[in-house]
Structure 1
Amino acid sequence: MKSMMEWCMGYETCQGESSHPFDQDWNLYWGWEANQSSCDDDVPWWEVEERLARDEDLQQRDMEDEERFFEEEMPDDQEELLTEDDKQFAAHLRRAEAVIKGISDSRKDHFEVVEKKNGKLKLFKSLHGKEFLKLVKKGCDDRCAQLRVVNQNPYVGIYHKVTRKWQYELRKMVEYGVLEGGVTRTVLIMNTVMEDIKAEASRPIIQDFSRRADRAAKDRKEKAISIIDQCFSERARLLVLRVDLGYRKGKFVESEDFLQDMEMVKNEWRIMSDRIKSGKVIPNVMAVFGKLEYGVLAGFHYHLVVIMKGSDHRQDINFAKMVGQYWYSEVTCGEGRYFNCNRIKHLYKKLGIGTINYHEKNKVDALKGVVIDYVVKSDYYMSALLPARKTFVQLSCTKKEKKGRRGRPRRYPSRV
């Protein structure tokens, strides 16, 4: 009997299958030599909307200005591989969003003067302060200024705006660790930078945008958990698949008409979902849910969860592969790509996919927590580019069984 690791090592990827997720995080390092763009003629969308709101007297706005990507295992002639610069660029955008949002949500000072026992002054940096300086030290890719879509994410836009404003001081800071004038002046300047970030992020239009996006993520999670609870009420064992469905490199990136492209993507998803629901892709599907997202390099992609009857099937890796292959060959005619999360489930610290019994609390918690949180998380690019558009999908593929349960009652009280 082969171990899971040995089985997965013998797994053969097919054309159209990615070896890495569409938006996986990386732990990478860039030198300061990377160019920090100092000019950007494009006005962020939130500032344009603020001006329109002011000019049309729609509402009062605070106008104070102080303020797992994928590397595909494909034939070389298809040129599907992302470069190291691509990976670093995508990681930069995700980290910029996380750091700026963290700073804006914090109420404390991120830089302080601490007196040591010998009377000397020491610079203390909070976790967010350290992460901000790490991000600044790694620098920006030229595409931060070249690609129009980059700063549509308001938190990424705030990062680039503030670092351009304070670029001289920040260069000195990451080079020497302290500014001219010593620790006291360094703390004053760096906390002023932090206040600029908070002021930008506290604009009413940004606050409203963030609340809407985060509230939508919370609603999506509640719907997804409801689906899972319904499935467990019908079956004591589920087979859970996680598949990312996307497109070849470059498709839908820097689009001229995002609305038109999204309609094309959603039309293909409608075809895919109808085929799943009818049983043409894989058998005995109980429910499906997932969310459409947009990546600056990955373009449009779906994070998909498929729930099957676990008492009838066990081969989750093969079923997930069948879902991806159907998307690649039948729906997108070779334009699609997919990532099979189930084939690397042995690497997850908290396993919430594969075969899950109702009494396996750790797996159920991981499914409702880690897996669901990842699938329904806020996507600020989609929220900015295509506001008020439905991006979460849910399908109930089986009707609730009305017949009484057969066999013995469940030994353990349901934890779902």
Structure 2
Amino acid sequence: MQTVPPRPQAIPSINFDAIRRSSKDSTIQSHSVDGNTHYKITEDYSLTDALGRIEFIAEELLKDDLPLFDVQVTAGKAGVYSTPLSTALIEVLKTDVTVIHERFPFYVYHPYIAVFMRLAQKYDLYHWASIYHSLSNNERVDVARRVNHMCEALRDECRSKAFKKSMKGHLALVRKNHKSLHRYIDALFVTYARLLVIRIDLDYLKGAQPARDWTQARQHRKQIIVFINKELPRLLQSEFAQAAGQGSIKVPGYVICAEYGADAGWHFHVTLLLNGNDSCRSVDIARLVGEHWNKQIAQGVGRYYNCNAHPSKYKSWGIGDVHWWDMEKREGLRVAIAYFGKADYYGNGLIQGNDRFLSRGGMPREKKKLGRPRSAPSRVGVPEAPDLQGTALRAALLLPRIWQTEVPF
């Protein structure tokens, strides 16, 4: 006999006021009717939030075989007891995510989402979820059993060999990007004992045309790369090197990830990897890049976020000074870089062709090292190197999905 999960504690209601205050784009709107406040979730928020929730729910369902709803019969009368996960499922089914095909014509669903949506339609759950709160007790029992049957079917399909094969193909590009980026970072640490890691997020003002036009955004990305390779070294030389009596400053490496968010549109995550012996002024260098983006490239419709100016928010992401022997910071850097290597499902749904959303600098040339081998400071010691590649990959797959990711303004 299948074990029935215990009756859950009361589920707290969603604090819409807190969500609305934290929403930078007013994706949750309110209006007053007869003295009561009513809330409306706008389409962009509904789509991005629902897709992320569906994937999360599918992953949670695969962790066990318990029914999502607890249907119990007492004195000949059936009753339904919800769990936090079943409540979340009913709520997400109230959003018609199928309209994403209209807005993103080439969109390819994550395998979990594709299975979930197909089975939800098969069991007619979109209709019943939309009127769930007005259903009678018997009707709710019927919906609960439909949901439990859907969950059983989802588990069977997602555990099949065919599905696992499709998941493997789905993650192939992500794994390829991760391996390429990890080799790149490791090669830079072979050449440079200390890297100055600078992170800048670039995007557009709300309503700006390039935010929704990949042709313009792609051209802007090319201009960012030209600036990093040619103009930034000259700026660094004039701003910092001459004052310190140093020689020329170069930009050994960079990683640029283009992403599309349903709310923010096209935006770029830029990571600069400088020789840590050349400069330590990461905040000022990030400001140079951000101001050039605003004034010269985006020409007044751009904005930027200087991550290095807020180190407490990114202390585990390996920004600032990173020494070759500091495995904790290097692991954080790998996690951040692995995040850039994930698939952009929205971006891929907007364009056709083989455009790449991930760009990086060339591999550093191997130099013959003279003198004694490197040694870590004795006060720190060198811990056994963890499986950074595996750790970073797992962490990246657990980070918020692309449809939930916006530049943090």
Structure 2 CA distance, aligned partners of 1:254 and 1:270?
15
Is 1:263 matched up with 2:215?
A: yes
TM-superposed deviation, 1:192: 3.9
Measure, in 2, the Cα distance between the counterparts of 1:210 and 1:386: 22
Quick one: which of 83, 104, 111 aligns to 1:149?
104
1:220 equivalent to 2:172? Answer: no
> Does 2:28 align with 1:85?
yes
**AA matched with 2:220:** E
SS state of the match for residue 206, structure 2? coil
Task: Quote the residue 1:382 is aligned against.
Answer: 347
- Residue 227 of structure 2 corresponds to 275
SS at match of 1:390: coil
Q: Does 1:291 align with 2:248?
A: no
One-letter identity of the residue aligned with 2:203: G
Q: State the identity as a percent.
A: 20
Q: CA deviation at 1:295?
A: 1.6
1:270 CA drift (Å):
1.7
Q: Given that residues 248 and 335 in structure 1 are in contact (C-alpha distance below 8 angstroms), is that contact kept between their aligned partners in structure 2?
A: yes
Distance in 2 (alpha carbons) for counterparts of 1:209 and 1:337: 39
Q: CA-to-partner distance for each residue in 1:68-127, whole Å, 9 max, x for gaps? A: x995xxxxxxxxxx3243897555433322332344455445514377999998756676
TM-score by length of 1: 0.63
**Match for 2:129 among 166, 170, 173?**
170
Alignment deviations for residues 330-389 of structure 1 (CA, whole Å, 9 cap, x no partner): 2222232222222222124624111112222221111112x1233222221122223532
Contact 1:328 1:337 in 2 (8 A): yes
Corresponding residue number in structure 2 for 1:346: 312
Q: Match for 1:96: what amino acid?
A: A
Q: Which residue matches 2:195?
A: 238
Task: Give the alignment of 1:363-402 within 5 angstroms.
Answer: 363-369=329-335, 371-387=336-352, 388-396=354-362, 399-402=365-368
Q: d(CA) in 2 for partners of 1:262 and 1:202?
A: 37
Q: Within 5 A, what are the aligned runs for 1:282-361?
A: 282=236, 283-348=249-314, 350-361=316-327
Deviates more, 1:160-169 or 1:331-340: 160-169
Across the two proteins, how many residue pairs are aligned to each other?
332
What one-letter code is carried by the residue in structure 2 that aligns with 1:154?
Answer: Y
The aligned amino acid for 2:279 is: H
Measure, in 2, the Cα distance between the counterparts of 1:232 and 1:363: 12
Which residue identity is paired with 1:240? V
Give the equivalent residue in structure 1 for 2:392. none
Structure 1 residue identity aligned to 2:223: I
Whole-angstrom CA distance in 2 between matches of 1:157 and 1:281 = 49
**Structure 2 stretches lacking a partner, 5+ long:** 1-13, 30-40, 237-248, 389-409
Residue 64 of structure 2 is aligned to residue 98 of structure 1: no
RMSD: 4.5
The 2-side partners of 1:218 and 1:359 are apart by 25
Segments of 5+ residues of structure 1 without an aligned counterpart are 1-27, 32-68, 72-81, 256-260
User: Is contact 1:213–1:379 with CA below 8 Å preserved after alignment?
Assistant: no
> Scaled by the length of structure 2, what TM-score is found?
0.64
The 3-state SS of whatever aligns with 2:197 is strand
Relative to structure 1, is the Cα distance of residues 401 and 300 closer, same or farther in structure 2, using a 3 angstrom cutoff?
A: same
Q: Residues 315 and 254 of structure 1: is their aligned pair in 2 closer, same or farther, counting only changes over 3 Å?
A: closer
Aligned to 2:35: none
